[in-house]
Amino acid sequence: MNYTIIDVETTGSSNRITEISIFKYNGNTIIDEFTSLVNPESFIPSHITALTGIDNHLVADAPVFKEIAEQVLSITEDTIFVAHNVNFDFNVIQGEFKRLGINFSRKKLCTVRLSRRLLPGHRSYSLGKLCKALDINLVDRHRARGDAEATVILFKILLQQPEAETVFTEFLNKNSREATLPPNLPKAVFEALPNQAGIYYFKDKKGQIIYIGKAINLKKRVLSHFYSKAQKSLDMVRETGDIDFEVSGSELVALLMEDAAIKQHFPKYNKVAKRSIQSYAIFSYQDRKGILHLANNKGRLVPQPLITFFDIRTMRAYLQNICLQYNLCPKYCHLQEAVSECSHYNIKNCKGICKNVEAIDDYNNRVLDAISYMSHQKDTIITKEKGRNANEEAFVMIKDGEYLGYGFIDNQTPINHTDDLNAFLIPQKDNADIQKILRQHVFKNDLSKSPETFQKSKTKQTLKQITIDI
């Protein structure tokens, strides 16, 4: 069996190769070598030069990757691709071939993960510290040939370990997850992740949270990061040394937990909005004829909104549904402007207020019903969610339109009034992102109710998605 032990140096964030070194090894001796500087066809940042010593002048006359691609393909053909943190080097080389329209595929082995299994007990498995602990002479650190040559010696040591054959076979099994896991992440940590909804925390080797995400299936979602070829995922996975999680029971509670956790920890790989989210509000007014209008505008321009949204399309869709549900006129709901009579492509059940056919009082009464319907979302709303196990339920509480938090409650606990839930409530802060989540997940099915159903639902007091008048 032949191996190609490889190291690449890159430009950093753009991950273009600046140097590559490949040693072909048959398990006993090195049988071939290819080492070359590479013109990355992009700028090498100063901090990369400080680390590797490779600058733009040094690679100016070097071949571009296209000129050495055939040699790389040839030397690695029918070999197992080996590297220290193999997914990084492999993905970089695979990316270079992809730019040339070539599919690069090889079996892989990671000397970090192999070392964790076959040489347990070391405080660090970085190449530099591992070489120092094993007395491997590492020359030209952070240059491709120096790092690759040291990795060859490390690989020889790994092959000589008593359980090497079993472990190598396991790692090369196409169904094994070993090759996809981050090099610094213990397999047991990943295996402990449940197939349940919740949030997860990627942590670096120092325990610092670097990313927070939510999932309906925690294990499946986390694994998807390891397969991702996106640069953000590659960088994040390379730094990951631990993963923590919290089970939520439902997607909605996971979304709420995720938002709170991100705003508490501000992880480096999470994009946190730096500007406030634009809001859009629906409001009502009466014109000189005495006709009640439903209109909309940017939230900051509406002092007393009936209901607020955080994207204009959702707001207009909601207003369209209100118009349909209550047989209102698209013209007087401001879904059509500058028309004498409504002629909306979707809403055709106007009773003629715009044609002076319907009495103003009759029309206004339906508008008032619609306003009452919208205003109910400023009452206390308890939405029932799936619990974290079969013996509990979760709930989300909203009062006067403000999100108060969520909680978990045992199935056997009697609830006679919303006040009984306060003891189980985990208080949370409200914000525009939360309101957007609630608008999409709590209220999205409200308009499936008829006005009669809505009026009846206001009298219920059970732990379901209900409205309780206060």
Q: Which domains does the chain have, with CATH numbers?
A: 3-172 (3.30.420.10), 187-265 (3.40.1440.10), 280-372 (no CATH), 379-468 (no CATH)
pLDDT reported for residue 377: 63
Does 149 score more than 60 pLDDT?
A: yes
The DSSP letter of residue 214 is E
Which pLDDT band holds residue 451 (cuts at 50, 70, 90)?
Answer: very low
**Mean pLDDT over residues 87-111, rounded?**
93
3-state DSSP percent of the chain in helix, strand and coil, to 5: 40, 20, 40
Note the pLDDT of residue 175.
64
Residue 11 clears pLDDT 50, i.e. is over it: yes
- DSSP labels, 253-290: HHHHHHHHHHHHH--TTS----SPPP-EEEEEEE-TTS
Residue 444: band (very low, low, confident or very high) from pLDDT cuts 50, 70, 90: low
> What are the tokens at 46?
């100063």
Please tell me whether residue 2 adopts helix, strand or coil conformation: coil
Q: What are phi and psi of 429, to 5 degrees?
A: -90, 140
184, 225 Cβ separation under 8 angstroms: no
- CB neighbours of residue 272 within 10 Å: 11
Q: How many Å apart are CA 17 and CA 6, to the nearest integer?
A: 13
Rounded to the nearest 10°, the torsion over CA 318, 319, 325, 331 is -160
Min mean pLDDT across 200-209, 274-283, 301-310, 390-399 is at: 274-283
Length of the chain in terms of residues written: 470
CA gap 345, 336 in Å, rounded = 10
pLDDT at site 424: 93
> Residue 273 pLDDT more than 70?
no
Mean pLDDT within 408-412:
91
pLDDT digits (tens, 9 = 90+) for 374-406: 877 666 778 889 999 999 999 999 887 788 999
Q: Is the confidence at residue 174, as pLDDT, over 60? A: yes
- Owner of token pair 């955080």: 310
- pLDDT score, position 464: 42
Q: Which of 34-38, 94-98, 142-146, 176-180 has the lowest mean pLDDT?
A: 176-180
Please give the pLDDT value at position 373: 87
pLDDT at residue 445 tops 60: no
Per-residue pLDDT tens for 204-248?
989 999 999 999 999 999 999 988 877 788 889 889 999 999 999
DSSP string spanning 75-104? HHTTSEEEETTHHHHHHHHHHHHHHTT---
Looking at residues 250-271, what average pLDDT do you find?
A: 94
How close are the terminal C-alpha atoms of the chain, in Å? 76
Q: What is the pLDDT of residue 28?
A: 92
The answer to whether the beta carbons of residues 5 and 148 sit under 8 Å apart is yes
Q: What average pLDDT does the structure give for the chain?
A: 88
Model confidence over 34-69: pLDDT tens digits?
999 999 999 999 999 999 999 999 999 999 999 999
